[in-house]
Chains A and B, each alone.
Chain A
Amino acid sequence: MLCKRIIAILVIVASCSKVTLAQDECELILTQATEEFNAGHLTSIAAMLKDCLDKNQRRDWRQRAYLLLAETYLLLEDPANAEQSYLNVLRANPEYITDPSRDPIDLVYLSGKFTATPIFSFHGYAGPNITPVRVIHDVHSGGEPYAKEDYSVRLGWQVGAGAEYNYNDYLSGTLGANFSRTTFKQTTTNLFGMDKDIIEFVDRQNWLTVPISVKYTQPKGKWRRYGYVGLSFNYLMSDNADIEINNRDAKADSETEERTSFDKSISNVNLIDYRNRFNYSFFIGGGVKYKYKLDYFYFDLRYTFGMKNVANPEDRYNSLTLGLPYPYIDDDFRIDNLAFSVGYIRPFYKPRKLQKARTKSVLRKIEKEDNETN
């Protein structure tokens, strides 16, 4: 058994050594090819690099090798192979951008004919949220004019994923699917008398939402800010509530305001039949994404404005008439949502030749730099 393990370790070490040796060899060949290029011996460069390119070398090696080839073919006035080589540069590093101060001008000009901007990218995220309630009509379960209802936020959470269509480097459209648990608390006081009963109602809703948005993103930098607006279509999957009743009566034979409480808790009351299940929202948001290798991590803050009444006025009192024996009644209300998410973006780069080359901007940039130099 021990022997087998030792053999396996030796095989792995040997393989790694072989790969490292091959890489060192190709690195040497690339150095030699660069020297040949600098010496003006252009015709042999493709042949020198061929074997190593066929061995599928490291991404940065391939980027450098294909750049050298692209420059070589440009000098050899072989535009077809130059374009193919530059396309391979972008395949090796889709985010490669030429620099007029560093790269030959004909290479910069060539690069204007290509893009590797991802047409689609996919993302996933998760995070906490809170749900502010906006009351449309205040509906009381008791007849006292002084009974009071207050809402407070509770912590919920969401997870989601989506696809992004990149219209250009700045603008994109996003379609997603989101599952969120929203929760809020309503507290009723002064029910059946001043300082008497207190009803605490905690509502937990599970929503499936489909957000669609337009996003503006900074195209460059390690940290890239973005902002977006959109609509989401929401389906209420479930709605359960916990109710705490503090039935506070004056203490018998007490001369003070002291009260005795007959309390009751009811858990998991199903309210789905008394709610509008379809809703839609308007949202705005923004954040920053951090480039990690060719992908991104991002931090996102989104505020969603609920547009439709969550309570179903037609069935509002059915909760009381069909078997829910507690003094709570739905207000007409909309719910907003403030969500913070941490996410991951996986762009699907697609190096390709542009139908309309962006070479004018390259020329303008060169002219500008010339003017500054003069």
Chain B
Amino acid sequence: MRLISLLVISSLIVVCSCDTEGNVDPVYQTFFLKYYGEDGNQEGVDLLVNADGSMILLGNSSSQTNPITVPFIAKVDPFGTVQWQRQLGGLNEKAVDVELDNGGNLIVLTNFGDGVNSRVKVYRIGQDGTGIDSVLIDFQEWQVGRSITVASDGRILIAGSRRPFAPNNLGDFALPFEDFADMTVLAVDASFQNDTIIAGFGGGEMNGSALKIFENSSGGYNLLGYSDRPAKDDVRKTRFEAFTLNEVFSSPGQRVIVEVPGETQIAASVIETFSLPGYVMAGTSYVNSLSSNIYLVSYYNPLDRVTSNADKMPTTQYQTQYLLNRRLESVSVSAAEPDYLFVLANEIKDNNKRDIFLLRLTINGAVMGSLSFGSLEGDDSAGAVRAHPDGRIAVFGTMELETQKKMVLIMLSPNGNFSN
């Protein structure tokens, strides 16, 4: 009878302690990995987090049989459930950036056409996905947009690069034949009626791109990017470059460069930080074609703290090359103020396929941890990383799922896990 009593009691304990909806933590609702898309392939490029926690996923769609792309945009709630999704624009158009305008609408930047016919296109769409306005910027020259800044007066400022058409050249230098891409800022007025080239640096560099323009406290602008413009050493090598411009974009303004001697630096993403006032620019320092590392520079604001006037090298809060024994190429940087920084990169594997790599840092640039996402055989690529208002880390990119590529949204805890 003792055995029977023991079994009856044990059975009651077991039945009472089983896993149910009530006692299994639905941790998957908060921390998850979800795929998004439609027919064909969809590749994620940018992520915008609204103040209410909803997110805008921006990518490009192409069919299984035709690589020509169409921008694809979706809105998801804080738990990753699609609220709406749609294609945007037309064929042969690639979305690159999405930002909010001063009225809370979405401003989407795309590059339309390719080769010498590449043009910049801007869309304004509502938070419910309805199109409001669009403008094609066409100065009859090759132009590629990289990012949007909505100015306080409502203008849309586009940082990117262009190969100047001679009559439009605003630079100080004659254009050599090899000149391919110069740092550029374009503008569209708030009503989407007028567009202008408001800053160009043609001729100084053969290859370069503005990444982002910021309004500064003195009424002017700070422009950050990269170029191969020669410095005091008169060597044409690509390195991080930044300008302080006045309110009328007097060219070229105060210029500063940051570099790793003997290596090539290409910037990928830049943000403004407030707990450590300044700008953090993330990029890649290439040792050679088979070795590259994440390179991060934290600038002061204002930028022009120059230690050597001749070389115009600014005093920085820090500039660090992260030697992690991986082949990494930076894609995106984000800050979770006031404590953390996240850098998203592509990790290039031995088979030349990519994984998505997340580096977690303190706001001062000290490494806290890292993790990578992606399959061994799949070509998975980074899009953007953002800090969610509720403290989560939002990682956005593309994953190759055997028969198709899909946009992927990965929501992690601040310590980089799928749980608290």
Q: Taking beta carbons and an 8 Å cutoff, which residues of A are in contact with B?
A: 136-137, 139-145, 165, 167, 171, 173, 192-193, 196, 212-214, 229-231, 245, 247, 249-250, 252, 262-264, 266, 280, 282, 305, 307-309, 313-314, 316-318, 320-321, 323-327, 329, 332, 334
The CA of A165 and the CA of B38, in the complex, are separated in Å by 61
Q: Identify which of A231, A313, A325 contacts B402 (C-beta below 8 A).
A: A325
16 pairs, CB–CB < 8 Å, chain A vs chain B: A139-B28, A141-B34, A143-B80, A167-B3, A213-B7, A214-B3, A249-B63, A252-B63, A252-B65, A282-B18, A314-B418, A321-B410, A325-B378, A325-B401, A332-B28, A334-B18
- Is there a chain A Cβ closer than 8 Å to B14's Cβ? yes
Number of A-B residue pairs at CB separation under 8 A: 144
Contact A317 B39 (CB under 8 A): no
Please provide the chain B residues from 3 to 28 with a CB less than 8 Å away from any CB of chain A in the complex: 3-4, 7, 10-11, 14-15, 17-21, 24-28
B377 to chain A, nearest CB (A): 7
Bound together, the chains give a CA A81 to CA B27 distance in angstroms of 75
When the two chains form the complex, which single residue of A143, A280, A325 contacts B399, counting CB atoms closer than 8 Å? A325
Contact A313 B25, beta carbon cutoff 8 Å: yes
Also in contact, A313 and B403, with CB within 8 A (given A144-B82, A249-B39, A252-B63): no
Residues in B whose Cβ lies below 8 Å from that of A136: 19-21, 24
Complex contact A247–B403 (CB within 8 A): yes
Q: Do residues A141 and B35 form an inter-chain contact, with CB atoms below 8 A?
A: yes
Measured CA separation A250–B38 after assembly (Å): 10
Contact between chains at A317 and B14 (CB < 8 Å): no
| Chain A residues whose C-beta falls within 8 Å of the C-beta of B400 in the assembled complex | 325
Q: A231-B14, A321-B374 are in contact. Are A314 and B403 (CB under 8 A)?
A: no
Chain B neighbourhood of A266, CB < 8 A: 402
Would you give the shortest CB distance from A316 to chain B, in whole angstroms? Answer: 6
Contact flag A145-B4 (CB < 8 Å), given A308-B19, A309-B19, A313-B27: no
> Known contacts being A145-B82, A249-B64, A317-B32, is A196 close to B39, with CB within 8 Å?
yes
B403: which of A212, A245, A317, A329 is its contact (CB, 8 Å)?
Answer: A245
B24 touching A137, Cβ below 8 Å: yes
Q: Which residue of A lies closest to B408 (CB)?
A: A320
B375 at the interface (CB under 8 A from A): yes
Question: Do A142 and B18 contact each other (CB < 8 Å), given the known contacts A313-B28, A325-B378, A325-B402?
Answer: no
Alpha-carbon distance A28/B63, docked complex (angstroms): 97
Are A143 and B402 interface neighbours, CB within 8 A?
Answer: no
Cα A136 to Cα B26 in complex, Å, equals 9
* Chain A residues within an 8 Å CB radius of B4: 167, 171, 173, 214
Q: Tell me which residues across on chain A come within 8 A of B28, comparing CB atoms.
A: 137, 139, 313, 316, 332
| CB <8 Å contact, A332 and B377 | no
Q: How far is the CB of B143 from chain A (nearest CB, A)?
A: 31
A138 to chain B, nearest CB (A): 9
For residue B419, which residues in chain A have a CB less than 8 angstroms away from its CB? 313-314
A252 CA to B66 CA in the complex, in Å? 10
Most chain A C-beta atoms within 10 Å of own C-beta, residue among B21, B371, B400? B21
For the complex, give the distance between the alpha carbons of A263 and B402 in Å. Answer: 9
Q: A193-B38, A231-B7 are in contact. Are A327 and B418 (CB under 8 A)?
A: no
Of B3, B39, B76, the residue contacting A193 (CB under 8 A) is B39
Instruction: Assess whether B81 is in contact with A262, with CB atoms less than 8 Å apart.
Output: no
Q: What B residues does A314 contact at CB under 8 A?
A: 418-419
Known: A144-B82, A325-B401. 18 other contacts (CB 8 A): A213-B7, A214-B4, A214-B7, A229-B7, A231-B7, A252-B66, A262-B64, A262-B403, A262-B404, A264-B403, A266-B402, A280-B14, A313-B24, A316-B28, A317-B31, A321-B410, A327-B35, A332-B24
Q: Does B388 contact A (CB under 8 A)?
A: no
* A309 surroundings in chain B (CB, below 8 A): 19, 24
Which 7 pairs across A and B sit closest by C-beta, in order of nearness? A325-B375, A307-B18, A249-B39, A247-B403, A325-B378, A321-B373, A309-B19
Are B10 and A231 interface neighbours, CB within 8 A?
yes
Q: Shortest CB–CB separation between residue B3 and chain A, in angstroms? A: 5
Chain A nearest Cβ from B121, distance in angstroms: 25
B80's nearest neighbour on chain A, judged by CB, is: A143
A307 to B24, CA, bound (A): 12
Of all chain A residues, the one with the shortest Cβ separation from B417 is A314
Tell me, in angstroms, the Cα distance from A262 to B404 when the chains sit together. Answer: 9
Chain B 387-404 residues near chain A, CB threshold 8 A: 399-404
Residues in chain A near residue B18, CB distance under 8 A: 282, 305, 307-308, 334
**Pair B401/A282 contact, Cβ less than 8 Å:** no
Residue-wise interface mask of B (178-206) relative to A, using a CB-CB cutoff of 8 A (1 in contact, 0 not): 00000000000000000000000000000
Q: Which of B54-112 contact A (CB under 8 A)?
A: 63-66, 74, 76, 80-82
How many Å lie between the Cα of A143 and that of B38 in the bound state? 11
Tell me the minimal C-beta distance from B283 to chain A in angstroms: 25
Do residues A320 and B33 form an inter-chain contact, with CB atoms below 8 A? Answer: yes
Whole-angstrom distance between the alpha carbons of A213 and B64 in the complex? Answer: 57
Cβ–Cβ contact A245 & B402, under 8 A: yes
* Residue on A nearest B40 in the bound complex, by CB: A249
B418's nearest neighbour on chain A, judged by CB, is A317
Q: Does B116 belong to the interface (CB within 8 Å)? A: no
A229: which B residues are within 8 A, CB to CB?
Answer: 7, 11
A327-B401, A327-B406 given; A142·B34 CB < 8 A: yes
Chain A residue, CB-CB nearest to B66: A252
Chain B nearest Cβ from A176, distance in angstroms: 14
Nearest A residue to B412, CB-CB: A317
Is B36 positioned at the interface, with any CB of A under 8 Å from its CB? Answer: yes
Query: How far apart sit A118 and B114, CA to CA, in the bound complex (Å)?
Result: 88
User: Nearest CB to that of A307 among chain B residues?
Assistant: B18
Candidate in B18, B27, B74 with the most chain A CB atoms within 10 angstroms: B18
